[in-house]
Structure 1
Amino acid sequence: ILAAPLMAGNNLTTMTENVRKILTAPELIAVNQDKRGVQGYKVYDNGPCEVYNKPLSDGTTAVLLLNKGREKADITVSWDKIGLSGTQPVRDLWERKDLGNFKDSFTGRNLGRHEHKMIKVGKPGKPLPMPAPMALDKYTVTRKGVTYLSDLYYLWREGEPPVYNTSFNGDPIDIDGKIFKKGFGSKGHSTFMLKLHGRANRFQAVVAIDKSYTGEKKGRFRVFNADAFSNKILFDSREMTRETPARKIDIELEDVDSIRLVLEGKDVLGNWADVKVTSDKGL
């Protein structure tokens, strides 16, 4: 679905028939090698349940319904999310059979842990439009001065997704009686990445365990340089409880492309308040 190169890392001379069928599935390979060359993109994300779409050269589109969770789930793709409408034919690409015509949406039922369903939707014809490129200022630092990171989309996350500009429970971010309009609410374990593109000189924030958290576990806030080779810790709050005073972060940055904001502590609720960077560099 992502149009990545296909490589086999197993011993081809000893592989089982089942593995051979997986590696040579013709309709899956056709999607990967489609001459239009469009990379699949995410159109739905509800925690462990995700939907990816890849418009194909023949006017149909390939859709991946993916359950990354531990429990069985039904996952639905709505036609309006993939550029279609009305009643559309659906084909199962693994089973290589037509499933019938479906109005407005299709649901993969009872998808198990890490299970997926790969389908092709629509009729041959004019190729469907590709997604419009996202404006650079929506996901990275582009201007001099202050950029609040809660004004940017995160690039990647693991665990619970952050909640923008409120606590994780949707309440105002309240730290020591001060209300912050900007920031993130997190529930441990939570990790998310933001792109700075090497333009930020300073990172600042205030972190604290949310006052609504009533558990006994401790939380820990950390900021990493997200460079895959360094993974350097830029800030470490050490363990904190609800009674621990808020901690201010004020660190200098130099040529940092991306940072990861991490809240450790299972089910601990924490707030990243007033999260911002300053820059003396523009585009």
Structure 2
Amino acid sequence: MRHLAALLAAVLAAASIPLALALAVVAPPAHAWENGLARTPPMGWNQWNAFGCNVTDALVRATADRFVATGLRDAGYSYVNIDDCWMTRNRDAAGNLVPDPVKFPAGIRAVADYVHARGLKLGIYSSAGTQTCAGFPASLNNEQRDANLFASWGVDYLKYDNCNNQGVPAQTRYTRMRDAIIATGRPMVYSITEWGQNQPWNWAQPVGNLWRTTGDITDSYGSMLSIYRINVPLAQFAAPGAWNDPDMLEVGNGGMTDTEYRTHFTLWSMMAAPLLIGTDLRTASPSTLAILGNRDVIAIDQDARGVQAREVRSAGGLHVLSRPLAGGDFAVALFNETGSTATITTNPAETGLPGATSYRLFDVWSKAVSTTTGTISASVPAHGTVAFRVTPGTQAGPPPGTSFVSDLPWQASTNGWGPAERDRSNGEQPAGDGRPLSIGGVGYAKGIGAHAASTIDVFLAGRCSTFTADVGVDAETGTNGTVTFSVLGDGTTLTSTGIRRGGQAAQRISVDITGRTTLRLTVGNGGDNINFDHADWANPQITCST
């Protein structure tokens, strides 16, 4: 973590996040709450951004109808979510929340039935406090009563806010409602909306399905950009069923240009964010519907692999993001935050693409198709984003004989901090910032410097027989750091080490990889956290035939 403080200070200064709080992102992601829901980021609608407190039965029903009529339901949007202000100012004599009889004259159950009949799902709102943000009764100390009520109405999604929380620790409050939801027996997506104040990425994976990482978005380019800057460094904490939530979409509300809205929608999709529409779909323009309904962009957001894009370069207001997708494709986005058109260029090595003879580039907005031998480049308008779905062409596999893995092309790589480094230790920031590899006082000229949690995939073409390496925690961490190493062939674990600690000598591993098509090298966090987890694959070699 040599450079982590400086990195976070720079990234988070614009968002006014105290560095002391930001440093908590180094804690490990916990195991996700396996309730079977939100295996891809939730998609739907919420009234708040466009209507505030002005929610009614008629609005919710009309929105459900527009989902069907515009094709948004078939594009993947499924949740019609009611936000604050749906209830009366007081509970009834039995202590239950009461739907406002003017706004919801037939109650919430009738609205849920209407939404369900159209193949959609209903969401509702409360707060982990004594009152909601608008001053209505909320669920602190009434968790089971309210969860039972929501379940009886057929609710499928709960947005749980953070107002008027009485100083009760966030993890305590949000865990109580999780337990209450479980006790109802009704599946509900659970949205933890505590604005990132208590770094929920550190603890919310076993508690909810998504967690807000920031304060509320507003309909401006500046707001969208500041939220992007806070959310994008948190990629390692996202996983199927557990998502970073940079807040709802503002697309169509009028405060940004269509170019900026396309950027908003693209960046959220690259970051595997929930896509919750926040505009009036009854009056949405064709351009708004075209943005929200772009199925090629939605496919990136909803990719089953569930890996949030990493920002592999950010300099001078020009950004490159890369996201590995299921099936071997990648999504690569070139984002220009500046006020002038700029050319942004990247390449397979920077974006983690596997080595290949060529790459097919599909522009997910213009739909243009092109081919490149490596360079990925575009002229990007001010505040704009160009995004490609990249398909690698023929992969030749390793040459015959014995080769260092650090000299070979990689199909894909993920890393806890910074990129996995070739022949250097992991420096946690841009490529090339590491040091010579060293384990237990022994230096190595060749190898891979990784940081838990990490994966590296290498295409073998079924022609290789043996993988060997010396593995351990890099000496630059002293006696700090605990990691595990695993070698997989075509998804099957072939060998795993026990926990390796800082200061220990390297452990030699040798693995039979005969007949395997893909080799995966994996580093885990040793069961505690990822602090100082600089993991070296020293002298990693494979032996292959012709």
Question: Structure 1's 30 and 13: CA in aligned 2 closer, same or farther, altered over 3 A?
Answer: closer
- Corresponding residue for 2:424? 166
Q: Which amino acid aligns with 1:224?
A: L
SS in 1 for 2:435: coil
Aligned mates of 1:25, 1:174 — CA distance in 2? 55
Do the aligned partners of 2:469 and 2:540 also contact (CA within 8 Å) in 1? yes
Question: Structure 1's 65 and 207: CA in aligned 2 closer, same or farther, altered over 3 A?
Answer: same
- Corresponding residue for 2:190? none
For the pair 1:274 / 2:539, whether they are aligned, the reply is: yes
Aligned mates of 1:193, 1:199 — CA distance in 2? 16
Q: Which amino acid aligns with 1:165?
A: D
- What is the CA distance between 1:239 and its match in structure 2? 0.4
Do the aligned partners of 2:487 and 2:519 also contact (CA within 8 Å) in 1? yes
Residue 242 (structure 1) aligned to one of 502, 516, 538:
502
Please list every run of 5 or more consecutive structure 2 residues that lacks an aligned counterpart in the other structure: 1-73, 79-115, 123-275, 298-309, 323-331, 347-364, 366-378, 428-433
Q: Which amino acid aligns with 2:401?
A: G
Aligned mates of 1:279, 1:195 — CA distance in 2? 12
Structure 2 matches for 1:70-109, cutoff 5 A?
A: 78-81=342-345, 106=381, 108=383
- Corresponding residue for 2:454? 190
Structure 2 matches for 1:140-219, cutoff 5 A?
A: 140-141=397-398, 143-160=399-416, 161-169=419-427, 170-214=434-478, 216-219=480-483
Aligned mates of 1:65, 1:28 — CA distance in 2? 20
Do the aligned partners of 2:439 and 2:504 also contact (CA within 8 Å) in 1? no
Do the aligned partners of 1:65 and 1:75 also contact (CA within 8 Å) in 2? no
- What is the CA distance between 1:179 and its match in structure 2? 3.1
- Corresponding residue for 1:112? none
| Cα distance per residue 1:222-265 (max 9 Å; x no partner) | 1122x3xxx32212110011232211111111221112211222
SS in 1 for 2:426: coil
SS in 2 for 1:26: helix
Q: Which amino acid aligns with 2:413?
A: R
Aligned mates of 1:263, 1:186 — CA distance in 2? 8
Question: Structure 1's 135 and 150: CA in aligned 2 closer, same or farther, altered over 3 A?
Answer: farther
Question: Structure 1's 119 and 175: CA in aligned 2 closer, same or farther, altered over 3 A?
Answer: closer
Question: Taking every aligned residue pair, what percent have the same amino acid on both sides?
Answer: 19
Q: Which amino acid aligns with 1:273?
A: A
SS in 2 for 1:81: strand
Question: Structure 1's 118 and 246: CA in aligned 2 closer, same or farther, altered over 3 A?
Answer: same
| Cα distance per residue 1:25-49 (max 9 Å; x no partner) | 325667849xxxxxxxxxx941797
Question: Structure 1's 264 and 14: CA in aligned 2 closer, same or farther, altered over 3 A?
Answer: closer
Do the aligned partners of 2:380 and 2:386 also contact (CA within 8 Å) in 1? no
Aligned mates of 1:131, 1:7 — CA distance in 2? 22
| Cα distance per residue 1:97-149 (max 9 Å; x no partner) | xxxxxxx75565xxxxxxxx7569xxxxxxxxx99977745xx32x2111221
Aligned mates of 2:456, 2:391 — CA distance in 1? 24
Aligned mates of 1:212, 1:27 — CA distance in 2? 48
Question: Structure 1's 75 and 263: CA in aligned 2 closer, same or farther, altered over 3 A?
Answer: farther
- Corresponding residue for 2:312? 46
| Cα distance per residue 1:195-230 (max 9 Å; x no partner) | 1121111101111111111464421111122x3xxx
User: Which structure: greater helix fraction?
Assistant: 2
Aligned mates of 2:342, 2:451 — CA distance in 1? 29
User: Which structure: greater strand fraction?
Assistant: 1
Question: Structure 1's 187 and 132: CA in aligned 2 closer, same or farther, altered over 3 A?
Answer: closer
- What is the CA distance between 1:13 and its match in structure 2? 4.0
Aligned mates of 2:499, 2:440 — CA distance in 1? 18
Aligned mates of 1:173, 1:18 — CA distance in 2? 48
- What is the CA distance between 1:192 and its match in structure 2? 2.1
Aligned mates of 1:224, 1:253 — CA distance in 2? 9
Question: Structure 1's 277 and 64: CA in aligned 2 closer, same or farther, altered over 3 A?
Answer: closer
Aligned mates of 1:75, 1:276 — CA distance in 2? 44
Please list every run of 5 or more consecutive structure 1 residues that lacks an aligned counterpart in the other structure: 1-5, 34-43, 53-62, 67-73, 83-92, 94-103, 109-116, 121-129
Structure 2 matches for 1:55-66, cutoff 5 A?
A: 64=333
SS in 2 for 1:204: strand
Q: Which amino acid aligns with 1:208?
A: G
- What is the CA distance between 1:164 and its match in structure 2? 0.8
Q: If the length of structure 2 is used for normalisation, what is the TM-score?
A: 0.32
Residues paired across the two proteins, number: 207
Do the aligned partners of 2:439 and 2:503 also contact (CA within 8 Å) in 1? no
- Corresponding residue for 2:120? 14
Question: Structure 1's 45 and 198: CA in aligned 2 closer, same or farther, altered over 3 A?
Answer: farther
Q: Which amino acid aligns with 1:146?
A: T
Q: Which amino acid aligns with 2:469?
A: A
Do the aligned partners of 2:410 and 2:457 also contact (CA within 8 Å) in 1? yes
Aligned mates of 1:15, 1:118 — CA distance in 2? 32
